[in-house]
Structure 1
Amino acid sequence: MIDLRTGVLITISLMVAVAAAILTYLSGQPPAAGVLACGGAFAATMLFCDKLIR
């Protein structure tokens, strides 16, 4: 089981990553670009929120 802080970080990161993937796809890029944007957004948001919520 994960603690509350980790759950919040993962939830926020997933929401941002999905939004980035959807916006990338809707801008006319291929789905693979959306997946790459999703991964990058997840990692960046996870690191940012980890530093912010300490």
Structure 2
Amino acid sequence: RSIGRPPVVHTDPPPPQPPGLPSIPPNLLSPQSMLQAAKELGQQASQKLLQTVTKKYSS
């Protein structure tokens, strides 16, 4: 890590895709569908992050 910035969790590369999520077939990799998939994955990830943080601080 560079010294210039503090370690921020969400700037790290995303973890490998968990088996529960469907992998996207190559023929769907148009810009629109990639954008849609990224949007959905982002929403799922932020919900999980929110749940984790909530659990951690509510206990």
TM-score for both structures, normalised by structure 1: 0.49
Larger radius of gyration: 2
Q: Which has the higher contact order (CA 8 A, sep 6+)?
A: 1
Structure having the larger proportion of residues in helix: 1
Structure-2-length-normalised TM-score? 0.46
